[in-house]
Chains A and B, each alone.
Chain A
């Protein structure tokens, strides 16, 4: 009768059934890696510096005369996670409108970048900031104090957007 070898034990040959050479082989591989160059980054002592294409936490662009944002609310509308809340108010400046309140709930944010994509003023952009720490739910809601970032620090991203948007 032509019976097929079906169980694990039947498929293995004698040396394989012994296991010891296999263990030695595996350990051999591990040991060989110990002596190769290391890829592990010693975070936080050694930090990863992302390029302009990186989507970190969304921030508001701060120019010399104040924020660019006119509180149009499109970011809030497009946000799939409903993370953004904007409350507009009137100013005396030429752009009549500014965000009286601009809050991003970083617990809700999924870093998709839709807010940046929809922004008609290029006022909200994705920064390189990726290590976000908060201890309470309340801390996770970032107001204008944390969101506004001077334009000089965002040059990489703005350059990237100009190129590819």
Chain B
């Protein structure tokens, strides 16, 4: 432990750390472009120049003090970069001295010489570090009257990344990311001086499964996503915290929403789970099923014809049909795609109301998906949660469902948020069912077979918890407005959604009539004259916390505070460290 003083504040710092790390851990911002806590130190942007010095020592070994009794500091004549200067005992750092400010302004002026300033066109505008610093640390004027350098624009690096060489400020974050995190060392600087640009090695492509993270860490708009390009300005979107449902890792994400439509997903820092990254597959695929091909109203099948009905009619129809069967003829299929709350209520519904033990869930495993950074083979977000909730259930197995339907044991299936896409045998056998109820997000094969379809909320519309593959319980809240949660979304909606009126065309978004699965089950329970009256997800979570030792004394507040808690460890959660936010002025 050493002591360093930054702008008069004495801090305890760990030896071997740099000034910028120590500052960020203590909540002090130092302007920088190229430094990133997960990447190696490059020290090429020169934005983090600070004044560093040590107290003056007298010949007798004592520290010299001035007439006010303050230490006399000998500052180095030249500025040091905070990202590559290691802390040492007694170090004094000045972040705001005239010398430092002059250097920052010079660096900004220098960077802006060849920067095209096409902010109106650039997707990064509104969350751009260069833009932020142009306001905070620059004179706001250019003395450069010569022609700017022109370089290549719209260079495809790989399938998911476009490069604009003019906007690049050569911070090398993407080069280091490719080499150190994605382990695909294909990027390099070429040329020198103001002609410097980044190129791929000949015959290579930047196409690793994590390539799109360079778009997030790029401090300017040099790297853009062809998937998102120009869909929306950042300030028109709302960014709501959520969990990626693509695999068992449970990467923390932000959902960018405008007009009640998800426009993009991006990683959110959680040092215990995904750090600063997420995979391209998750980012590109895990919102389409929310936006498109949705089931938006309850439906029942009459004479082989699906028709849209209101909730009351659908519930009554279901209850009436369920009453015709014996409890052991009904099989409940829970889902590792659904939240713990939904699965718990389904179990409660099966055990206490239908009086059957026939409840199980299906795993979705894809060995080829796994890699050693984030992706895991379990392709559902809540497999661990299901394992915990259904651990002592003596049930018919879900994987034997096809046989049980064929031999007539099971006549009714109640499938919650399960699409059986990986189980074609079961799908085939379901044609022989007498009655099939599904909660589903999309029109798919199972919805074609169903007698009753309840539109279920996806992860983006629900509140709940997932347990990731390492047993971390993580809480998430809705990002999209449904007719059910409209009143609670309030300030979480994007600007345009919040203030739109009925004569504005931009508020003609789809407000779906879907509900969280536990609410649908509660409606059924009430129709079967059980007095269930749970008001929100957190009430159900407290029931779970009471019943399972794994979730003991967990609450949503605790989960939010500690970035999720490992199962069974609610009493001793890992403490949350300072979270580095690269583009910190980004709207929320």
- Interface on A for B, CB 8 Å cutoff? 70-74, 76-77, 82, 85, 88-90, 95-97, 103, 105, 107-108, 120-121, 137-138, 140-141
CB-based nearest B residue for A100: B230
Chain A residues, CB < 8 A from B377: none
Chain A residues, CB < 8 A from B232: 88
Chain B residues, CB < 8 A from A73: 233, 235-236
Instruction: Say whether A105 contacts B229, CB under 8 Å.
Output: no
For the A-B complex with A72-B125, A85-B496, A105-B504 known, give 18 more contacts whose Cβ atoms are closer than 8 Å.
A73-B235, A73-B236, A74-B120, A76-B236, A77-B233, A82-B500, A82-B504, A85-B504, A85-B506, A88-B231, A90-B230, A95-B121, A96-B153, A97-B120, A103-B505, A105-B503, A108-B504, A138-B503
How far apart are the CA atoms of A53 and B499 in the complex, in Å?
31
How far apart are the CA atoms of A8 and B229 in the complex, in Å?
76
Chain B residues, CB < 8 A from A72: 119-121, 125, 233
In B213-250, the 8 Å CB interface with A consists of: 229-233, 235-236
In B495-511, the 8 Å CB interface with A consists of: 496, 499-500, 503-506
A73-B233, A77-B233, A82-B499 known; A120 vs B153 contact (CB < 8 Å): no
Chain A residues, CB < 8 A from B233: 72-73, 77
Chain B residues, CB < 8 A from A85: 496, 504-506
How far apart are the CA atoms of A85 and B236 in the complex, in Å?
10
- Can you identify 18 A-B contacts, CB atoms within 8 angstroms? A70-B120, A72-B119, A72-B120, A73-B236, A74-B120, A77-B233, A85-B496, A85-B505, A88-B230, A88-B232, A89-B230, A90-B229, A96-B121, A96-B230, A97-B121, A103-B506, A137-B503, A141-B503
How far apart are the CA atoms of A89 and B500 in the complex, in Å?
23
Chain B residues, CB < 8 A from A137: 503
**B 139-157 binary contact with A (CB < 8 Å = 1; else 0):** 0000000000000011000
Chain A residues, CB < 8 A from B505: 85, 103, 105, 141
Could you say which of B121, B230, B236, B503 contacts A77, with CB atoms under 8 Å apart? B236
CB distance from A132 to the nearest CB of B (A): 15
Instruction: Say whether B506 contacts A121, CB under 8 Å.
Output: no
CB distance from B263 to the nearest CB of A (A): 11
Chain A residues, CB < 8 A from B504: 82, 85, 105, 108
How far apart are the CA atoms of A108 and B507 in the complex, in Å?
14
Chain B residues, CB < 8 A from A138: 503
Chain B residues, CB < 8 A from A82: 496, 499-500, 504
Chain B residues, CB < 8 A from A140: 503
Instruction: Say whether B503 contacts A71, CB under 8 Å.
Output: no
Residue among A73, A76, A95 having the largest count of chain B Cβ atoms under 10 Å: A73
How far apart are the CA atoms of A120 and B153 in the complex, in Å?
21
CB distance from B147 to the nearest CB of A (A): 16
**B 505-539 binary contact with A (CB < 8 Å = 1; else 0):** 11000000000000000000000000000000000
How far apart are the CA atoms of A70 and B500 in the complex, in Å?
24
Chain B residues, CB < 8 A from A88: 230-232
